[in-house]
């Protein structure tokens, strides 16, 4: 959806100026934008948004789980997934873990058998991940094209240097709250900067609206306020 919005904006600009632009966006950054309610909860309570469950019920796939990694924190886990449509994911994972001996093992040689023996798959992976921190696990698997993601809460993400550099999180100036960090706009357009600003307070633009649209003078506006009409 975010990609479609960016494309439409660029097409509209091309109609007006004859020039196009490059659009860039990443899945993680779009999901952060979709998680605005979680960041509202974080701002309200001053702590990372609590987990309320994210278990997928697609089923019949293994591995497709979060695994404990090195460290004692509540987020020291990495989600690891191998596609049913790509058996190379599983073989690459075995090689990374030093378990090439299991390549071709009938207990794990098909998606159906791996799911049937998923408790063994989970035990094997957990025995490996516990010796590595979550970022290392994610990087090593990602370099081999295996879907994996370190578990991070809303606070870790909002403090991530790269996400802040890319303005996936931005700090706006609010007239009452002061500086306030919030998710930014994830669609990066080479020719259209989308600034994130605080919403106006109630009545903040009344003078401009009544003055410019209705042509009322400052004296007339003052009289209306005095009579509590506006």
Q: What's the number of domains the chain is made of?
A: 3
Please indicate, yes or no, whether residues 40 and 83 belong to a single structural domain of this protein: no
pLDDT tier at 59 (50, 70, 90 boundaries)? low
Quick one: 35 and 62 in the same domain?
no
CB burial string 99-134: b at 16+ within 10 A, e below: beebeeeeebeebeebbebbeebbebbbebbeebbb
Single residue among 119, 152, 185 that ends a domain in this structure:
152
Q: Is the residue at 92 inside a domain?
A: yes
Any domain includes 145: yes
Residue 106 located in a structural domain: yes
Q: Are residues 26 and 67 in the same domain?
A: no
Contact 230, 206 (CB under 8 A): yes
- Residues 140-157 have a mean pLDDT of 94
Determine, yes or no, domain membership for 158.
no
Residue 120 lies in a domain: yes
Q: Mean pLDDT for the chain?
A: 90
Residue 159 lies in a domain: no
Global pTM?
A: 0.67
Q: Give the pLDDT band of residue 55 (cuts 50, 70, 90).
A: very low
Question: Residue 146 — left, alpha, or beta (φ > 0 → left; ψ -120 to 50 → alpha)?
Answer: beta
Checking if the pLDDT of 178 tops 80, the result is yes
Per the structure, the complete domain to which residue 168 belongs is given by 1-51+164-197
Instruction: Taking residues 182-203, report their average pLDDT.
Output: 88
Residues 131, 71 share a domain: yes
Distance CA 203, CA 206 (A): 5
Residue 103 has pLDDT above 90, yes or no: yes
pLDDT at residue 27 tops 60? yes
Distance between CA atoms of residues 203 and 84, nearest Å:
56
User: Domain for residue 7, yes or no?
Assistant: yes
The percent of residues in the chain predicted with pLDDT above 90, rounded, is 60
Mark whether 47 and 60 lie in a shared domain. Answer: no
Q: Are residues 116 and 133 located together in one domain of the fold?
A: yes
Question: Is residue 157 assigned to a domain?
Answer: no
Weakest mean pLDDT among 54-68, 136-150, 156-170, 205-219: 54-68
62 pLDDT more than 90: no
Q: Which helix (H) or strand (E) holds 67?
A: strand 64-68
Better pLDDT: 51 or 18: 18
Assign residue 116 the CATH number of its domain: 3.30.1540.10
* Claim to verify: residue 47 and residue 58 sit in the same structural domain: no
Residue 148's beta-bridge partner residues?
Answer: 80
Mean predicted confidence (pLDDT) in 152-169: 92
Residues 104 and 66 in one domain: yes
């Amino acid at each position: 959806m975010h990609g479609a919005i960016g494309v439409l904006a660029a097409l509209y600009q091309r109609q007006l100026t004859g020039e196009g632009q490059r659009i860039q966006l990443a899945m993680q950054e779009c999901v952060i934008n979709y998680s605005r309610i979680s960041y509202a909860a974080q701002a309200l309570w001053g702590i990372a948004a609590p987990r309320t469950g994210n278990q997928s019920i697609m089923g019949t796939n293994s591995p497709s789980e979060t695994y404990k990694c090195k460290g004692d924190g509540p987020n020291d886990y990495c989600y690891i997934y191998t596609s049913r449509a790509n058996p190379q994911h599983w073989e690459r994972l075995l090689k990374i873990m030093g378990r090439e001996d299991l390549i071709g093992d009938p207990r794990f040689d098909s998606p159906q058998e791996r799911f049937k023996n998923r408790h063994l798959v989970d035990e094997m992976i957990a025995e490996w991940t516990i010796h590595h921190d979550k970022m290392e696990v994610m990087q090593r698997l990602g370099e081999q094209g295996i879907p994996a993601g370190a578990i991070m809460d809303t606070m870790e993400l909002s403090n991530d240097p790269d996400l802040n550099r890319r303005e996936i999180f931005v700090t706006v100036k609010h007239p009452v709250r002061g500086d306030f960090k919030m998710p930014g706009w994830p669609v990066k357009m080479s020719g259209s900067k989308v600034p994130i600003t605080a919403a106006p307070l109630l009545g903040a633009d009344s003078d401009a609206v009544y003055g410019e649209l209705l042509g009322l003078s400052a004296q007339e506006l003052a009289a209306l306020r005095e009579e509590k009409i506006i």
